[in-house]
């Protein structure tokens, strides 16, 4: 398994997207987003997405350089037309707009239209928290991504529809980002790439029977992912519907559309509208200390706050490099070569640790 320096990987990833017609500034947004996901251990949303995105550019479903514009707005709200540019480009415009409105009017909410796959939802809300905002994020997908069954069903009718939030806390914001399904589809793809069985309770096959085989999910015939919550999966199902309404219906989009992409909705809230900023941070630190004081079940695994695990992984991978599974590495290298990008960061045989 090759291990690659994050800065080298960033530069190479940006080169790949420039080679398929992306303006350099936008290639940097997309490349940095993907590599940052790998740094944090979210490999399902890392560079394994490069072949998918490059193929989408070739197909015309992603339009590098397309204009991203405000379609309509009020003092506190906006609809951002992402123009089918890369989802990260549109997503950043959306969260930046929400934060700007919150700074001016204490609260901002933005939804998107015509947005391509936006990657890791938590990246956007964490950016907002670093601007001093509490932020909520919602992400839906149209019919092509409806892998998740409604409670009691056996055919997918919802996407994995993640929710995310981030709480400002200096340089260590609290960040949570999780699908309303038992598992995101990207993780199943990662397990299949690594030839690993899935965990119990993640999926069912086409006949509604539990399975741990990625092949039973992808088919043919395709299976489906269960809403999160196990025997109380109606909770995940209800939250999945909430995400669908916030990120699709409010944007005036059709949930049954066949067009690939994501719907995004962001809410940004200025804490100073409710509590003096110094008091807010004092109370937050008291809460964090109290929560972490709970004696751990395993002494080797202390209680962590949301986002701490990913920061720990990031620190380790920045120091030692990002491990890339062999199947992903081969696919990305081939994509780069097809585009004429022969500058590979390091040869796999020289990068194993």
pLDDT tens column, 210-245: 999 999 999 999 999 999 999 999 999 999 999 999
pLDDT of residue 323: 95
Give all strands of the β-sheet with 77-81 in edge-to-edge order.
69-73, 77-81, 107-113, 263-270, 133-140, 163-167, 174-178
200 vs 261: CA distance, rounded Å = 29
Kindly state the tokens that stand for 70. 């405000």
Instruction: Output phi, psi for 219, to 5 deg.
Output: 75, -160
Q: How far apart are CA 35 and CA 186, in angstroms?
A: 15
DSSP H or E segment with residue 39: helix 24-39
CA dihedral over 28, 259, 178, 112, signed as positive or negative: positive
Ramachandran angles phi, psi of 185, nearest 5°? -60, -35
Domains of the chain: 1-65+321-353 (1.10.1530.10), 66-182+226-272 (3.30.1370.60)
Instruction: Name the β-bridge partners of 257.
Output: none
Cα 201 to Cα 181, 204, 226, 267: the distances in Å are 11, 8, 7, 32
CA distance 49 to 215: 20
What pLDDT score was predicted for residue 169? 95
The DSSP 8-state label assigned to residue 106 in this structure reads: S
Positions of the chain with pLDDT under 70: 343-353
Q: Taking a C-beta distance cutoff of 8 angstroms, is the pair 342, 333 a contact?
A: no
- What's the confidence (pLDDT) of residue 226? 97
Burial class (CB in 10 A: 0-12, 13-18, 19+), 264: buried
CA-to-CA distance for 270 and 129, rounded, in angstroms? 10
Q: pLDDT for 5-43, tens place per residue?
A: 999 999 999 999 999 999 999 999 999 999 999 999 999
């Amino acid at each position: 398994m090759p291990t690659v320096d994050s800065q080298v990987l960033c530069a190479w990833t940006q080169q790949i997207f420039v080679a398929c017609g992306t303006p350099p500034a936008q290639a940097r947004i997309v490349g940095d987003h993907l590599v940052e996901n790998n740094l944090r251990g979210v490999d399902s949303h890392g560079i394994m997405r490069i072949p998918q995105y490059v193929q989408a550019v070739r197909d015309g479903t992603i339009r590098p350089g397309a204009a991203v514009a405000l379609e309509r707005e009020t003092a506190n709200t906006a609809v951002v037309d992402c123009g089918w540019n890369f989802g990260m480009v549109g997503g950043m415009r959306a969260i930046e707009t929400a934060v700007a409105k919150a700074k001016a009017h204490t609260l901002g909410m933005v939804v998107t239209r015509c947005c391509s796959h936006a990657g890791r939802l938590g990246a956007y809300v964490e950016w907002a928290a670093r601007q001093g905002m509490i932020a909520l994020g919602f992400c839906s997908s149209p019919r092509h991504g409806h892998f998740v069954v409604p409670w009691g069903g056996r055919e997918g009718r919802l996407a994995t529809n993640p929710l995310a939030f981030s709480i400002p806390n200096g340089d260590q914001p609290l960040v949570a980002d999780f699908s309303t399904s038992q598992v995101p589809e990207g993780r199943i793809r990662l397990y299949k790439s690594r030839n690993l069985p899935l965990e119990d309770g993640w999926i069912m096959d086409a006949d509604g029977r539990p399975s741990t085989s990625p092949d039973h999910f992808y088919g043919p015939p395709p299976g489906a992912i269960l809403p999160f919550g196990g025997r109380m999966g109606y909770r995940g199902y209800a939250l999945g519907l909430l995400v669908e309404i916030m990120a699709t219906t409010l944007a005036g989009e059709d949930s049954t559309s066949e067009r690939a992409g994501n719907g995004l909705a962001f809410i940004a809230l200025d804490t100073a509208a409710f509590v003096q900023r110094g008091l807010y941070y004092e109370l937050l630190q008291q809460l964090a200390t109290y929560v972490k004081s709970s004696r751990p079940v395993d002494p080797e695994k202390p209680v962590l706050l949301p986002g701490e695990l990913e920061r720990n992984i990031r620190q380790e991978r920045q120091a030692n490099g990002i491990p890339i599974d062999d199947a992903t590495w081969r696919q990305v290298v081939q994509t780069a070569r097809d585009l004429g990008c022969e500058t590979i960061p390091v040869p796999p045989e020289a990068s194993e640790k």
